[in-house]
Structure 1
Amino acid sequence: MTAARSAGFEPGLQAVAPALPGRPWIEQAWRDVVFVHWRVDISAVAPLLPAGTRPDTMAADGTDDGTTTWVGLIGFRFEDTRFPPIAVPDGLGTFVEVNVRVYTVDEHGQHGVVFLSLDAGRLAPTIGARTLTGLPYHWARAECRVGSGRVGYAMRRHGTQLRSVVDVSIGDAIDEPSALDTFLTARWGMHVRRAGVTRFWPNEHESWPLHRASVRMVRDDLLGAAGLPFSLAELPPDSVLYSPGVTTRFGVGR
């Protein structure tokens, strides 16, 4: 048994989502997803996590060294949002989001993400998501540019000077994702702290179609504003991936 498996990480299983317990309450298409990640010691992340969770760990070689976790800066476009069976008008359900996330496991062994911030380019969904789930959503001016083998995201949070710009070149498709690729992308739920309780909100979608990617530019204030080391965005990322997207369904937090 490898170190990764002994820690409860099963790469072959986690690449496929478990079925949701009950019908989804929301569906969303996530398009042109850019995953930019930095490797950090768990001490940089642990103080930022909700009660009942701890950093989920994996080293760059796909084994679990017990000390290495990851910080993600993720950009993508929301499309075709619906609350089954009701679709949301495009004016509300289509927008750009840039989020900062870290990776967690709880006392029940559920692997997920914790969002330290989420900046969305439309006000109504920002208010709705923050009210309904307690996620740290912020309204921002955000845009996406796609073309010529490149994807770029740029945003500025309203009422602040916080900005983030990410520009990547898309590389070859990945036929067999590594254990680390799976760890960073195939996360089937989020841990959210609200009203003194940490809940796990499950999600499901088809397996990620992934591509290697390379950074052309990263300029970011969001990582530092979320409580992470301010110098992180100045360092070359340790993993850069791209996906044309998936359609995601969320279950109710429990």
Structure 2
Amino acid sequence: MLERRWLEMTWRDGLFCHWPVDPAVVAETLPDGLSVATYEGDAYLSVVAFVMDDIRPRGTPIGLSFPELNLRTYVEGPNGPGVYFYNLDADDRIGVSVARRLFALPYYRAEMDVSRPVTADRSGDGGDSVRFVSRRTHPGVPHARFDATYEPTGEAFAAEPGSLDAFLVENYRFYAAGKRLYRGEIAHEPWTLREAATEVRENTLFEANGFDRPDGDPIVRYAEPIDVGADRIRSAR
């Protein structure tokens, strides 16, 4: 539960790609204070791409918008279950600098483009199809690239409590490690999800974060736009 809504925003054009992995692969990468969360014995690594739209302090009429791309896993921590980020690539120079300096969040500057491609059977707007392209430009860190086109293919649904989808997307807390362990809280209605078709032309996020590429195809979901509130980042307890 949020102590207060410090920031408000809308997330749109969301793509979730989830790979099951051996928990030992994740465990060795986590900072002190966090342990691996599993579902039926599997840990997960997830690539998540979306646009953060109209980000603003509560009550402010005008906000900022930029795309974000992250690799994350799922953990148990001192404040309860949550997400642990390996990287947060974003096309926002000021926001990246502030997040890195104040909270040790693993934000990296990137050049990004999110578009609606024209398809062979349609003219003009590509409808629900989204192309998300990212090239990391942050100095002194491993390069990372991502280039994918995705679109929803199934009926809209909400994740059933206790299901794998709920484990992977209904997360309202994240952790970050710097000089100490930090945590952030968010709030939103349950996600509206759809199965999705994807064409991934390039994805080097695993290599950039020291992982071997997981075997097999990911679980892929498209996420409908959702309004989000976020509290200030605080020390974990």
TM-score normalised to the size of structure 2? 0.86
User: Which amino acid is 1:128 matched to?
Assistant: V
Distance 2:158 2:57 in 1: 33
Q: Which residue of 1 aligns with 2:177?
A: 193
What's the secondary structure of 2:211's corresponding residue? coil
Per the alignment, do residues 107 and 94 of structure 1 end up closer, same or farther by CA in structure 2, a change over 3 Å counting?
closer
Instruction: Please say if 1:162 is aligned against 2:141.
Output: no
Structure 2 equivalent of residue 48 of structure 1: 29
Identify, as 1 or 2, the structure richer in helix. 1
Matched, 1:219 2:202: yes
CA offset at residue 237 of structure 1? 2.9
* Residues 1-254 of structure 1 mapped to structure 2, 5 A cutoff: 19-20=1-2, 22-58=3-39, 64-65=40-41, 68-89=42-63, 93-108=64-79, 110-146=80-116, 147-158=126-137, 159=139, 161-178=143-160, 179-195=163-179, 197-229=180-212, 231-232=213-214, 235-252=215-232, 253-254=234-235
- The runs of 5 or more residues in structure 1 that have no matched partner are 1-18, 59-63
Aligned CA-pair RMSD: 1.8
Match of 2:122 in 1: none
The question of whether the paired residues in 2 share the 8 Å contact of 1:174 and 1:211 is answered with yes
Where has structure 1 moved over 4 Å in runs of 4 or more?
Answer: none
Q: Does structure 2 retain, via aligned residues, the 8 Å contact 1:174–1:210?
A: yes
Distance 2:218 2:58 in 1: 38
Kindly provide the CA deviation profile for residues 112-147 of structure 1, in whole angstroms up to 9, marking residues without a partner as x: 101100111121111122223211111100011233
User: Where in structure 2 are there 5+ consecutive unaligned residues?
Assistant: 117-125
- Normalised to the residue count of structure 1, the TM-score between the two structures is 0.80
- State how many pairs are aligned: 220
Shift of the alpha carbon at 1:173?
2.6
1:177-234 Cα deviation digits (max 9, x unpaired): 2411111111010011122x213211111111111112222421111111221x33xx
User: Secondary structure of the equivalent of 1:192?
Assistant: strand
